[in-house]
Structure 1
Amino acid sequence: MAVKLLITGYKGQVGHCLVAQAEQLGWDILAVDRDELDITDQACVRAQVSAFQPHVIINAAAHTAVDKAESEIGASYAINRDGPAYLAEAAQQVGAIVLHISTDYVFAGDKDGLYVESDAVAPQGVYGASKLAGELAVAEHCSCHLILRTAWVFGEHGNNFVKTMLRLGSQRDVLGVVADQVGGPTYAGDIAAALLTMASQALQPDFNAWGIYHFAGEPHVSWHGFATAIFDASVAQGLLARSPVINPIATTDYPTPAKRPANSRLDCSRIHSIFGIMPSDWQAALQDLQPYMPPA
């Protein structure tokens, strides 16, 4: 019998990849976005889950506009906390497992070393606080839950740093990019693969390693270093004639409504020890940048 998988937020960066990869597995997929299922509507979530009877729910829906979240507080909590709570509650009722994507923003970002799953959380803004609330809600409402914290996500679909850099690089000769924030760029396709690997193993009768896992890219790099790698790859692939001059700037030089973590480095050893999953190889993911290029 094919595994029945409900994917929310399928039009997003990770959601796109989840659908494509789950189809390769031969799973029975119901992929929805907000037009098909408003996860903030508890009655609709219950009805959809009850009708489909999934074995697995992967929640890739989120309010990810970090700066807008500072003013869109209600929407942030509705999508990042209440929706996951309703999905987890519905999963518990039908005996499904739920996988939920979270973020490095649950941490303060001031630790010297890598963040492990058990480190104290201290979100610095509405986005991080609402995502942390979502983690707690999922854990509270569904006993069979896996929460995947990730960072610096990029992929062929949706908006992300890689696309922004290539667009600006095609328009400008000089760019200033933040150099005092460090993390692990994470390819959306690798996140999807990690989630499906986790789901497959979690469906085994003897599985009991529920909880929170970190999954992000290595090697760790600053935004400035990431931008440099993007432009080097784009020039090598003949997509840009030359790289712009990339000047390193401080976070204080580029003020934003929401505070960014200075340290977003996640320790990915637990996911490797339990599931055999390696960190995302973001450098390999930059080997084909054509899908990220702005329209001519």
Structure 2
Amino acid sequence: MKLKIFFTILLFPALLSGLSVKTKSSIADDYYILGNQYFEMEDYAKAVIYYQKALENNKNLKDVNINLILAYQKSNKYAEAEKVIVAEYKETQNEYNQKLLLLLGNNYFYQSKFDIAAKVYEAYFKSYPSDVNGIFNLALSYYKLGDEKNFLFYLNEGYKINKTYAPILFNLGDYYYNKKDYKSCLIYYKELIDIDKNNPDVFAKLGEILYLTGEYELAKEQYVKSIELNNADSSYYLALAKIYAKGYNDKKMTFENIEKALINGFTDLSYLQAQEEFVILEEFSDYKELLKKYKLIK
């Protein structure tokens, strides 16, 4: 599972000024709106220009500074982003300084300076211990540094703070999955389903874990739910085919689900040949005809 750094700060909207005679403040607001529009279009260079114009007219717009930093980071201009952060940041604990400190940690993380990022996130965690965002990013920094002990420690600390924070549940589940500790893995994926009921991949992952533990009926139920949410993913049908083959020795349903995978664009013959579950179909004439139909064999 791919790890994700938490991107915590959304663009702050601004309202159009309705004044017929523009004050410097209203002009700043209008430039801010233009900057946000270019940011949404992913034209970060122009977004920077208009954020700077907004600040020229009103240097006290904190939300503009935040979005300017984000635009610099999206443009990979990390030195410029850091310059703004350092100029604005104060030790006083408030919402603005909290955002700046998190963005500073992100700035180092994006540059793969994970040791420095970890120090910033540690400072963030000490200042704002109830915010799970910083501690999750701290865990990821230790992961990138190859420090498994601290990676797991801070994931668990984050879990104590917020048991419904999906990125932590994903990563804890994935950690135990890679350790083949499926019992622990199941705990987090079952909790994840409770908060992410519309994600077919979550059901599929839970189905895979249940399959590996021999819970074939429960595994089948999860993949059926995955297909209900996304019936165009061939991997779900292949997983069901394996369940029917190994769990039920059911050639008919194994065949039908492989066919559905092929209908949905699956073309990897070597994968089909490598799965021990599909040995039951080797002498099944209809299976050979199916592979010929989809031009996987001659």
Fold shared per TM-score above 0.5:
no
User: Which is greater in Rg?
Assistant: 2
Bigger strand share:
1
Q: Which has the higher contact order (CA 8 A, sep 6+)?
A: 1
Bigger helix share:
2
TM-score normalised according to structure 2 size:
0.25
TM-score normalised according to structure 1 size:
0.25
